[in-house]
């Protein structure tokens, strides 16, 4: 297992689809001329890859700090011949160094670590510090999706988003698969989700929107 991780880490380091410095990524970023969607803590990027197949006219970027997971995602993306994906092997705390303000259309957070200890609540990906980063890089009316099996993270996210003046909550579901006419993008299941469902856990979902900076009622972003 350790050798496999080392090999996958080398794949990530050698790939032209993987970036870990702002300078190299921003040069690549400015060549993208379509909507950009991120998956944070993407792991092996199951969500990114499935969305990329469905939406060839958008560009998808998976973000994860673990190089071996990114390496696996790169291999699968090549096997699937996806030409609208890339990966950042970075800490999510550094996202604002890689993306200009108002440049990302959607962010997905799928089954992130809930950090159960209260002393680590600031590491939850919907903690106030992270929401501040997302509000900078998301476009006006950009979307933030979160799927989780954790009651704690679900409730924490609702509280955090409600308290944040930059976001409006559009939808919540404490049992996603009990919802009628579920959008197909929400039916995508990562290996983590499949495991949770086999263990009879319910999947929760929160959808929020980055508010316009000023609700003047006349500009295109407010209408």
DSSP string, 130-198: HHHHHHHHEEEEEEEEEEES-HHHHHHHHHHHHH-TTEEEEEEESSGGGSTT--GGGG---HHHHHHHH
User: Do 70 and 46 form a contact (C-beta atoms < 8 A)?
Assistant: no
- Structure token pair of residue 120: 């680590």
* Three-state secondary-structure class, residue 28: helix
Active-site residue, 83 included: no
Beta bridge partners of 109: 40, 146
Residue 43: both structure tokens together: 């792991």
Q: Which of 14, 97, 113, 151 is catalytic?
A: 113
Q: How far apart are CA 27 and CA 10, in angstroms?
A: 23
| Beta bridge partners of residue 167, listed in sequence order | 210
Q: How far apart are CA 49 and CA 59, in angstroms?
A: 11
Pick from 63, 59, 65, 13: nearest CA to 42: 63
Catalytic residues: 113
């Amino acid at each position: 297992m350790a050798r496999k991780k080392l090999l996958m880490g080398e794949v990530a380091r050698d790939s032209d689809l993987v970036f870990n410095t702002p300078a190299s990524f921003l040069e690549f970023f400015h060549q993208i001329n379509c909507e950009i969607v991120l998956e944070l803590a993407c792991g092996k990027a199951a969500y990114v890859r499935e969305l990329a197949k469905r939406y060839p006219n958008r560009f998808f970027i998976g973000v994860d700090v673990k190089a071996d997971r990114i390496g696996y995602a790169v291999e699968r993306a090549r096997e699937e011949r996806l030409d609208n994906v890339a990966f950042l092997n970075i800490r999510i705390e550094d996202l604002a160094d890689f993306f200009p303000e108002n440049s990302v259309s959607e962010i997905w957070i799928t089954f992130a670590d809930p950090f159960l200890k209260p002393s680590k609540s600031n590491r939850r990906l919907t903690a106030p510090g992270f929401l501040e980063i997302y509000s900078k890089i998301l476009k006006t009316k950009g979307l933030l999706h979160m799927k989780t099996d954790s009651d704690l993270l679900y409730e924490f996210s609702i509280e955090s988003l409600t308290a944040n003046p930059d976001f409006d909550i559009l939808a919540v579901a404490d049992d996603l698969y009990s919802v009628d006419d579920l959008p197909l993008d929400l039916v995508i299941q990562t290996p983590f989700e499949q495991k949770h469902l086999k263990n009879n856990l319910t999947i929760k979902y929160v959808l929020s929107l980055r508010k316009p900076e000023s609700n003047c009622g006349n500009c295109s972003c407010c209408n």
